[in-house]
Amino acid sequence: MQLTIRIPDEQMSKIEHIAKKMCLKKSDVTRMAIKKFIDEDIGKEKEIKPYSRVKHLLGVVESGVPDLGQRHREHLIRKIKSEHR
């Protein structure tokens, strides 16, 4: 099957550079890129669990409270009380 698309000059230059570097045709590089895009998109559809959506964020923020994990309830109660004053 054939597909005709318009590509900005800058992107076409990059495709030509990659094709030359890999000794491939521009159409081969384009097919590879489209296949990768489709494969990644299909993979995202399978990752519907909430954990999968935020796992890259876990452990990347520091609260500055060294015992937050052990005493989270006490810290939360103290925070709520201080906001209602």
- What is the full per-residue pLDDT of the chain (85 aa) written as tens digits? 899 999 999 999 999 999 999 999 999 999 999 999 988 877 666 656 778 778 888 876 777 888 888 888 988 898 888 887 7
Check residue 35 and give its pLDDT. Answer: 93
Q: Which helix (H) or strand (E) holds 73?
A: helix 72-83
Output the pLDDT for position 52.
76
Q: Under a CB-based contact definition with an 8 Å cutoff, are residues 56 and 47 in contact?
A: no
What is the number of alpha carbons within 13 Å of residue 14 lying toward its C-beta?
A: 6
- pLDDT, residue 19, reads 96
- The sign one gets for the Cα dihedral 16, 18, 19, 20 is positive
Question: Tell me, what's the pLDDT at 71?
Answer: 87
pLDDT at 49: 76
Cβ-in-10-Å burial (0-12, 13-18, 19+) of 15 comes to middle
